[in-house]
């Protein structure tokens, strides 16, 4: 791009969003080039610069987003949407430069609607802020991922996020009623006023998980819930994973706890021991039951009876309460894997008839092919039909190649190995972190000819291919 | 730009951690990614690695932080962005790279005794009343008023001194260039004056903070007992020297981050308000309070600081607050500037004066 054209585009973008909201400053370009993806962090740690946007724009509403996308389409400039940058898959990295569209000025909370039980807000709102807004009125969003404080509503929607209380309250795609979306051509649309209907496919679900490749979600109505009268915890120790899966599956045929988290023996002996204080060997499982007290008491009785059948040791409520208190502590620097380690979380999901096999096969594949890597896992989101694995590989810093390109190769190779093993055994590419640039290549392997459905939608909505190129395998 | 080992460790821990994103009053006001602790740390970490220059751009970003400590309080592992931000400001000063707006404020400080370049406020009386010094501070003298507070002390029969030529505590200098030799010299000069008194009552928590913390850290001896005005007022009520009647009115305290976090003092304002009426809390209170204004930053980013205050009014409104009560001069002035018509704003002494 010539300097002249650069200035032309910059002034048009300034006209669209206001001069103070269109930046070419180094600090803005830098901070929008490193997200939570291991590669971008490793790159920065070694003093390298990630691909940067040329223009960082912060529109305040759908109208301004529309103006930006029209400019981008005209000049055929890539647009990468940025929420708060907490994604692990490199979905928000502007790999082709161009415009980074930061959504955080669209953070207005329009309505805490107690009648309709939802909050209407801009998608640039940090989720914790809408939780505060709900709390101020005596409600809760019940969406409690570790990134609650550092991710936007739009960010969670863009990659289909999930929180720790998902078993009872659902995933982010269960929590949204209606959305406003700006299409790549600049048209502003609204999805249907209610999410459950027979008026064709659910438009919400086309954009949720699309990672900025099909448009920009600008406003959303997110569900709120009454605060539970009672929230009760119980920790258990299982002798083996098979018993734990069977117990979990049986429990879910009876009722839905809010939190269900099973930690494999390796993670029980490391993270759970360190943060929650469980010293014994085995597979730790934490359950939370909540709602009307009378019902919660009854559910607790059913829980104890069910788990006793599978030989689970009842550890009482103390560890569970401690876990709840510390649920985000796990993710702070000092507790979490960090550079110079090489690491990744290969979350996948499958029905109960496949999930345990996937776990053992992935563990075997990683540990056999990459003996320098540790493999730990927990199972944190459960349904009546199956659950997800949050399995992580960790290579200590002294075993990571010094050459950043070689370090990246190692990282990619472990990912390929792990995810392909999951796919071969009936899992999916990802459960709730999304695809981004990290896993795009594996989407075609999962979907095969079904990928043409996504490609067709993409081609129709974004014929110039400006929206978040090379993400989601599109 | 050289950082201490401690700062390097904190910068490297914060550069890839987003956990305090939600508590930054500046980031919440601007919606800009660069106004987060992690963005600042990332920039500085790349400076440390010689990947980028410690340029005007990065330095300006370092001055976009209010040092309110929200991030530090929120961090469960104790990383401290305030510490490395202050060190980065000191580094800019030592490298001769201070932004023009900072230079202007420092020059004002040198010439007029305050960063705002305000002439001496002739309306402030000189009172020679004993070994308790009522210290008004730079913000109050240049930008605000403490008339009601002075009258209240007189009503309570407190014998106190109010200086015509009050030294600068060094708070603003510390904010701008941190632990530079000039800051220390200014604080030493102030300490000499303070040491003529048995007790120093600081009207503005900002001055109390440096006298109680930074002076100690840097080995500057203050023999006088330093107390905040809020605590002093609460004691006067407790001791019966100010007989307040409970009005039954609802008051919502705005915890100054300096009082609540740096000085860990949140009870006195509540004791006073409970004596005068009923306390209605905002969701974000005590140590988890949100900054409502900063007059120093208002000099170079006024629109953002106004938005910071507006956001706090939004919090107050959500708590159904009717009367918001402040203890900090900077917060009062910014909240006053942005006050919604249907809400009331009062200084703590105004609440007490009305309940006598």
CATH number at residue A311: 3.30.70.3450
Cα–chain center distance at A264: 21
Which residue of B13, B33, B283 is in closest CB contact with A31? Answer: B33
Q: Which of B57, B75, B318 lies at the smallest CB-CB distance from A332?
A: B75
What is the rounded distance in angstroms from the CA atom of residue A83 to the CA atom of residue A152? 6
At A333 the pLDDT is 87
Instruction: Please tell me whether residues A218 and A235 are part of one structural domain.
Output: no
Last residue of a domain, one of A196, A226, A256: A226
Nearest chain A residue to B316, by CA:
A136
**Domain total in chain A:** 4
Residues above pLDDT 70, as percent of chain B = 100
Chains A & B: contacts with CB separation below 8 Å: 120
At residue A459, the pLDDT reads 98
Q: Which of A65, A85, A109, A62 is nearest to A222 (CA)?
A: A109
Residue A87 near residue A462, CB atoms below 8 Å: no
Judge whether A469 lies within some domain.
no
The arithmetic mean of pLDDT across residues B43-53, rounded, is: 96
- Do residues A455 and A357 both lie within one domain? yes
Domain end residue (candidates: A74, A102, A130):
A102
What token pair was written down for B154?
Answer: 């007189």
Q: Is A273 inside a domain boundary? A: yes
**What is the CATH number for A38?**
3.30.43.10
Q: What's the mean per-residue pLDDT of chain B?
A: 97
Q: How far is it, in rounded angstroms, from Cα A31 to Cα B32? A: 10
For B222-233, write each residue's pLDDT tens digit: 999 999 999 999
Burial A317-331 (b: 16+ CB within 10 A, else e): eebbbbbbeebbbbb
pLDDT of residue A373: 97
Q: Is residue A454 part of a domain?
A: yes
CB of B35 within 8 Å of a chain A CB? The answer is no
Residues of chain A with C-beta less than 8 angstroms from the C-beta of B13: 333-334, 338
| Binary contact (B46, A339; C-beta < 8 A) | no
Distance CA A308, CA A311 (A): 5
Task: Mark whether A291 and A306 lie in a shared domain.
Answer: yes
Helix axes A352-369, A241-252, angle to 10 degrees: 150
Please, which residues have CB within 8 angstroms of residue B147's CB and are 6 or more apart in sequence? none
**Beta strand pairing call for B199-202 and B132-135:** parallel
Q: What is the pLDDT of residue A104?
A: 97
The DSSP element (H or E) to which A350 belongs, if any, is strand A348-351
Q: Same domain, yes or no, for A83 and A116?
A: no
- Going by pLDDT thresholds of 50, 70 and 90, the confidence category of residue B5 is very high
B114 touches chain A (CB under 8 A): no
Same domain, A36 and A89: yes
Task: Check: CB of residue B215 under 8 Å from CB of residue B194.
Answer: no
Q: Return the CATH number at A126.
A: 3.30.465.10
pLDDT at residue A1 in the model: 85
Best of B12, B13, B18 to disrupt the A interface (most A CBs within 10 Å) is B18
A292 and A399 in a common domain? no
Q: Do A152 and A214 share a domain, yes or no?
A: yes
Within this chain, do residues A237 and A317 fall inside the same structural domain, yes or no?
Answer: yes
Through-space distance between the first and last CA atoms of chain A, rounded to whole angstroms: 24
List the alpha helices (DSSP H) in A233-347: 241-252, 265-267, 293-309, 318-325
- Same domain, yes or no: A59 and A120: no
Helix, strand, coil percent values for chain B (each to nearest 5): 50, 10, 40
Closest CA to A463 of A69, A98, A62: A69
CA distance B228 to B232: 6
User: Any chain A CB within 8 A of the CB of B13?
Assistant: yes
- Residue B48 confidence (pLDDT): 96
A32 with B33: Cβ contact below 8 A:
yes
Quick check: A227 and A139 in contact, CB under 8 A?
Answer: yes
8 A C-beta contact, residue B83 and residue B7? yes
Do residues B113 and B69 touch, judged by C-beta distance below 8 A? no
CA proximity to B318, closest of B343, B337, B335, B294: B343
Q: Which positions of chain A have pLDDT values less than 50?
A: none
By the CB < 8 Å criterion, does A200 face chain B?
no
pLDDT of residue B238: 97
Average of per-residue pLDDT across B235-255: 97
B-chain residues within 8 Å CB-CB of A25?
Answer: 34, 57
- A97 with A128, same domain: the answer is no
pLDDT of residue A334: 84
Q: Do the Cβ atoms of B15 and B38 come closer than 8 Å?
A: yes
- Global pTM reads 0.96
Instruction: Report the residue from B19, B31, B49 with minimal CB separation from A331.
Output: B19
Q: What is the pLDDT of residues B109-118, one digit of tens each?
A: 999 999 999 9
Distance from CA of A325 to the nearest CA of B (A): 11
- Is residue A166 assigned to a domain? yes
If asked whether residues A247 and A207 sit together in one domain, one would say: no
Distance CA(A162)–CA(A171), nearest Å, equals: 5
Burial class (CB in 10 A: 0-12, 13-18, 19+), B298: buried
For B132-233, CATH gives 3.40.50
- Classify B202 as helix, strand or coil: strand
CATH: 1.10.1060.10, 3.30.310.50, 1.10.1740.10, 3.40.50.150. Which one for B5-98?
1.10.1060.10
Mean pLDDT, residues B198-227 taken together:
97
Of A26, A126, A329, the CB nearest to B76: A329
To the nearest whole angstrom, how far is the Cα of B13 from the nearest Cα of chain A?
Answer: 6
* pLDDT at res. A471: 97
Whether residue A473 lies inside any domain: the answer is no
Residue A378 shares a structural domain with residue A424: yes
CA separation for the pair A55, A67 (Å, rounded):
14
- Rounded to an integer, what is the distance from CA A1 to the centroid of its chain? 35
Interface contact flag, A129 B33, Cβ < 8 Å: no
Determine, for residues A82 and B319 on separate chains, whether the beta-carbon distance falls below 8 Å.
no
Torsion sign across C-alpha atoms B256, B260, B261, B265? positive
Summarised one tens digit per residue, pLDDT across range B74-102 is 999 899 999 999 999 999 999 999 999 99
Q: Give me the domain span that covers residue A390.
A: 342-459
Report which secondary-structure segment, H or E, holds B169: none
Residues of A in contact with B17 (CB under 8 A): 332-333
Alpha helix ranges (H) inside A310-351: 318-325
C-alpha distance across the termini of chain B, in Å: 55
Q: Is the C-alpha dihedral spanning A16, A18, A21, A24 positive or negative?
A: positive
CA distances from A103 to A19, A125, A233, A324 (A): 16, 8, 37, 30
Q: Report the chain B residue with the minimal C-alpha distance to residue A333.
A: B13
Contact A332 B19 (CB under 8 A): yes
CA B139 to chain centre: 10
Structure confidence at residue A362 (pLDDT): 98
């Amino acid at each position: 791009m010539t300097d002249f054209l650069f200035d032309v585009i910059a002034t048009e973008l300034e006209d669209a969003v206001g001069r103070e909201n269109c930046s070419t400053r180094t600090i803005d370009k830098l901070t929008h080039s490193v997200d939570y993806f291991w590669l971008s962090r490793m790159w920065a740690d070694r003093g390298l610069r990630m691909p940067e946007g040329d223009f960082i724009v912060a529109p305040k509403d759908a109208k301004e987003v529309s103006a930006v996308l029209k400019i981008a389409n005209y000049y055929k400039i890539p647009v990468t949407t940025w929420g708060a940058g907490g994604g692990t898959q490199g979905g928000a990295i502007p790999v082709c430069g161009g415009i980074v569209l930061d959504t955080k000025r669209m953070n207005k909370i329009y309505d805490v609607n107690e009648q309709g039980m939802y909050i209407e807000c801009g998608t640039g709102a940090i989720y914790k802020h809408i939780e505060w807004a709900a709390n101020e009125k005596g409600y809760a969003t019940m969406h409690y991922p570790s990134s609650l404080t550092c991710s936007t509503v739009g960010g969670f929607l863009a990659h289909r996020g999930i929180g720790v209380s998902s078993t009872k309250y659902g995933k982010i795609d269960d929590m949204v009623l209606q959305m406003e979306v700006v299409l790549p051509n600049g048209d502003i649309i609204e999805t249907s006023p209610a999410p459950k209907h027979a008026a064709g496919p659910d438009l919400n679900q086309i954009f949720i998980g699309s990672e900025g490749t099909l448009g920009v979600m600008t406003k959303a109505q997110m569900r709120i819930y009454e605060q539970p009268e009672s929230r009760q915890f119980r920790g258990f120790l299982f002798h083996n994973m098979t018993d734990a899966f069977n117990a979990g599956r049986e429990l879910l045929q009876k009722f839905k706890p809010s939190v269900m988290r099973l930690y494999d023996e390796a993670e029980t002996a490391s993270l759970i021991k360190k943060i929650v204080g469980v010293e014994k060997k085995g597979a730790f499982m934490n359950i939370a039951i909540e709602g009307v007290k009378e019902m919660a008491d009854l559910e607790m009785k059913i829980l104890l009876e069910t788990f006793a059948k599978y030989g689970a040791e009842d550890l009482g409520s103390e560890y569970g309460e401690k876990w709840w208190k510390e649920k985000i502590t796990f993710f702070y620097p000092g507790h979490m894997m960090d550079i110079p380690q090489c690491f990744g979380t290969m979350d996948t999901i499958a029905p109960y008839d496949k999930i345990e096999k996937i776990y053992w096969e992935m563990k075997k594949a990683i540990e056999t092919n990459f003996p320098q890597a540790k493999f730990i896992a927990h199972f944190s989101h459960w349904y009546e039909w199956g659950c997800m694995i949050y399995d992580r590989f960790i290579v200590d810093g002294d075993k990571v190649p010094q050459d950043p390109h070689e370090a990246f190769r190692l990282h990619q190779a472990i990912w390929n190995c792990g995810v392909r093993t999951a796919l071969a055994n009936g899992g999916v590419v990802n459960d709730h972190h999304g695809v981004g640039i990290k896993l795009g290549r594996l989407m075609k392997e999962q979907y095969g000819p079904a990928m043409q459905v996504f490609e067709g939608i993409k081609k129709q909505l974004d014929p110039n291919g400006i929206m978040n190129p090379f993400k989601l395998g599109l | 730009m050289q950082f201490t080992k401690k700062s390097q460790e904190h910068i490297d821990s914060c550069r890839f951690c987003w956990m305090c994103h939600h508590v930054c009053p500046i980031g919440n006001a601007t919606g800009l990614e660069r106004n987060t602790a992690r963005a600042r740390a990332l920039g500085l970490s790349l400076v440390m690695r010689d990947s980028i220059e410690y340029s005007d751009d990065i330095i300006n970003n370092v001055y976009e932080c209010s040092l309110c400590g929200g991030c530090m309080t929120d961090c469960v592992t104790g990383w401290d962005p305030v510490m490395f931000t202050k060190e980065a400001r000191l580094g800019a000063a030592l490298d001769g790279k201070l932004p023009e707006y900072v230079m202007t404020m420092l020059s004002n400080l040198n010439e007029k005794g305050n960063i705002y370049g305000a002439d001496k406020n002739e309306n402030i009386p000189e009172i020679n009343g004993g070994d308790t010094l009522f210290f008004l501070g730079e913000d109050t003298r240049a930008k605000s008023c403490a008339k009601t507070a002075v009258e209240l002390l007189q009503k309570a029969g407190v014998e106190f001194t109010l200086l015509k030529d009050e030294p600068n505590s060094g708070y603003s200098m510390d904010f701008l260039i941190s632990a530079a030799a000039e800051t220390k010299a200014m604080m030493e000069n102030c300490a000499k004056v303070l040491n003529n008194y048995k007790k120093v009552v600081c009207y503005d928590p900002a001055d109390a903070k440096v006298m109680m913390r930074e002076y100690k850290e840097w080995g500057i001896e203050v023999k006088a007992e330093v107390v905040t005005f809020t605590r002093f007022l609460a004691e006067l009520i407790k001791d019966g020297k100010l007989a307040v009647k409970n009005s039954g009115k609802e008051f919502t305290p705005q915890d100054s981050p300096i009082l609540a976090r740096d000085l860990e003092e949140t009870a006195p304002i509540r004791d006073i308000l409970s004596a005068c009426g009923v306390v209605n809390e905002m969701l974000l209170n005590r140590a988890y309070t949100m900054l409502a204004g900063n007059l120093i930053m208002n000099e170079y980013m006024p629109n953002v600081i106004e938005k910071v205050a507006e956001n706090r009014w939004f919090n107050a409104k959500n708590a159904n607050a009717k009367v918001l009560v402040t203890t900090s001069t900077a917060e009062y002035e910014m909240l006053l500037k942005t006050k919604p018509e249907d809400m009331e704003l009062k200084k703590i002494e105004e609440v007490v004066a009305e309940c006598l």
